[in-house]
Structure 1
């Protein structure tokens, strides 16, 4: 029900405001992205009616389908936050306003090649904060080189960094390391000041570490529908 959705949204926004006060920050400087993975487009329409304008998707097929169905909501901003395949980069680019998961030169190149007009795509370098090279993201010590490559592609606008906190580390520690990487990327381009970090269980720690964009799903949307 829309009333329940609104109550969950308000509860999260109150917690974001509390965390911002704790960090001595203005909550208005923090962007709350509602992740609608596996939920129908109708839920996004309900969220829009409640004032939500920033929406996140993990899969290209869902992103493309929902943006097509909700084309009349032209003030929505769509964030692609999942791992991206290079062969789907053009489709992602057609639907997304921002891509948070650039983790290799080839993906940046594919997104650049996918430009069909003069629209500039906002992108973030995804940082792997784990010791597992198989996880999404570039190693922290390779972030600057990838950021420099993105800066060489005129249809992309480097906005900052993104990461997911490891399960085996305190979020505060992980986000402090991310903040150091973010500072290095911002030294290459002062406008690259986004830090996309923090989900339902750790957004307070992310805000304390300087996160500018939070990715929050089921705490707002409710349980994901059964896909079986």
Structure 2
């Protein structure tokens, strides 16, 4: 049995949440709260556009209000279930037992009544994501298996990196940074999200340690400082690990 990985999968992967909520103030507060805990949160405010938003965003979890303009949350959930098994958490002021039963019967995975205590909501979200991850593990990499992208292999448990058949000497911080990036391929990670995962603190607008670390990784993996391909800079947003650029 493999144990002992310093950065577990739940911390490494930036998980995407789609919040379907028409109360703009509440949506903003929830985005800020969940973003503080490392989630990538996008929003939709209308029921008649929500199903398309799920198709386009491919979230890891949907938080769904029931009372929405255009189409109610019950019908939105039914629409989602025609093509996706994404976890759906219904968040609504309607707390009667028959409403909860209806929500679960039409395919929701959990039901939280407003006003929700933020730590409780966070715990429910994490539990749903954890269960979804456990049920989707068939064929997924484990701590014993390396993360592989072309000629790059990252052995999490052994804390070893192979690039072009050679072992790459990385500091502990550099390896942790590479793991954070490689565990979210194709996802733009902000400095704040990276620092939260790397050191448990947010970006204060001054700390340049992430930029320095990225520069060091680029040098070690022959990634151009002027036009990086493997670890890209997305101006104004953060950094992106490009999974298709590690073949050569």
TM-score (norm 1): 0.32
Q: Which structure features the higher share of helix residues?
A: 1
Pick the structure with greater CA Rg.
2
**Which of structures 1 and 2 has the larger relative contact order (alpha carbons within 8 angstroms, sep 6+)?**
1
